[in-house]
Chains A and B, each alone.
Chain A
């Protein structure tokens, strides 16, 4: 249990550090900025309690906010994502899945995992950019930022998952 927590904490630090050092500097066409630290919530296994998921989401979001000087934005969005994650995972998981199933291509299949990751990253990006903008006066710019960032985030999550699969193999 403690090992799991430490491992997860380690990955959280790595993801936030990657976000701070690498992904924060990506501004594709001036709009798209990937936010792949959401992958931590995506990778929570199916037997994770909902309160536990909420705390992981909040902590990870808060850590990202502290490092990126956006207090509250990431925490709000990632907590919401963490709240949805267990329900969505149960919905997308195969019927014969084990209780402590980890969401991945091998356990869920590529398309199921893609849907799962796509929905959660979409919700996260939407919440993140809405809270960040906090108004809809420049709706087009907001929509482009959100959609392009979501696309990049989603793609990076799929790539992370691909690396993880290879490593597991």
Chain B
């Protein structure tokens, strides 16, 4: 306190100078319009510059947060863009002959759209999980198709999900036929390339050529007949030499599978029960 008083006493003339000059300037700005306006203009300009500088500094400090927000926004817009692009594609897409024929064939059955949750093509016994289950009426032995052809058969179901045994499974055998000649055989996959499967048991007297279309035969309650499966790419003899073994280029690209449909045939359970009854009678 004493030091403060000493300081004030020692430099009292400086304080008096500041007070008197301040008073003079106060009078100057108070009673002279010109000085007042110049002062206000200058003060405003200075304040504006200081505010702009402060704004710049604050903006710099918040750059990290802004960048994070922009990144999040960018991701959101990317996802939205992807969805809209797909939607536009479905609106403008001119369906192929295969798709139209498939739609016709499947018109008398109920199709339940589903999305692929998990998928694999690299294993010997691949499985696909879809987001439909018993709650949606999905049962084992139901067929699963996609826009380009067959996918597989429902293997197991839970309340909300189902596991599909696709064509790309060593235990899968689907009855198929050659569209032109109507000879039928069993389609199976021997591993390796997921784009090719084998149509076995085609009799030796059958006439066909490479490029012939392979479709479902309809000899089971799983798939209706005529659903496009693929095209014959190579003709070979079977191991025992009694039949042909056709290498089929599958129409379905399993590695890009996203949306599928479960085929619900109206009388499937009735047919299935009848088949089981016939089997049991035959065994007796």
- The residues of A that contact B275 with a CB separation of less than 8 Å are none
- The residues of A that contact B38 with a CB separation of less than 8 Å are 134-135
A31 within 8 A of B: no
Beyond A72-B27, A83-B13, whether A54 also contacts B20 by CB under 8 A is yes
Which of A74-82, A89-97, A99-107 has 4 or more CB atoms under 8 Å from chain B? A74-82
Q: Considering the chains assembled together, what is the distance between the CA atoms of A83 and B38 in angstroms?
A: 27
From B37, which residue of chain A is reached at the shortest CB distance? A134
A58 within 8 A of B: yes
Number of interface residues of B (CB under 8 A): 20
Scan residues 153-199 of chain B and give those whose CB is less than 8 A from a CB of chain A: none
Check if A54 sits within 8 Å of B28, measured CB to CB.
no
Q: Considering the chains assembled together, what is the distance between the CA atoms of A51 and B17 in angstroms?
A: 8
- The residues of B that contact A65 with a CB separation of less than 8 Å are 27
Check if B13 sits within 8 Å of A75, measured CB to CB.
no
A109 within 8 A of B: no
Proximity string of chain B (104-127) to chain A, C-beta cutoff 8 Å, 1 when within and 0 when not: 000000000000000000000000
Number of interface residues of A (CB under 8 A): 20
Q: Considering the chains assembled together, what is the distance between the CA atoms of A61 and B30 in angstroms?
A: 16
B89 within 8 A of A: no
From B22, which residue of chain A is reached at the shortest CB distance? A76
A73 within 8 A of B: yes
- The residues of A that contact B29 with a CB separation of less than 8 Å are 72
Beyond A71-B31, A72-B31, A72-B32, whether A54 also contacts B23 by CB under 8 A is no
Check if A134 sits within 8 Å of B24, measured CB to CB.
no
A136 CB, min distance to chain B CBs, angstroms: 11
A68 within 8 A of B: no
Check if B20 sits within 8 Å of A73, measured CB to CB.
no
- The residues of A that contact B17 with a CB separation of less than 8 Å are 54, 79-80, 83
- Can you report 18 A-B residue pairs in the complex whose CB atoms are below 8 A from each other? A51-B12, A58-B24, A65-B27, A71-B30, A72-B27, A72-B29, A72-B31, A73-B24, A75-B20, A75-B23, A75-B27, A76-B21, A76-B25, A76-B28, A79-B21, A80-B17, A131-B28, A134-B35
Q: B residues within 8 Å of A by Cβ? A: 12-13, 16-17, 20-21, 23-32, 34-35, 38-39
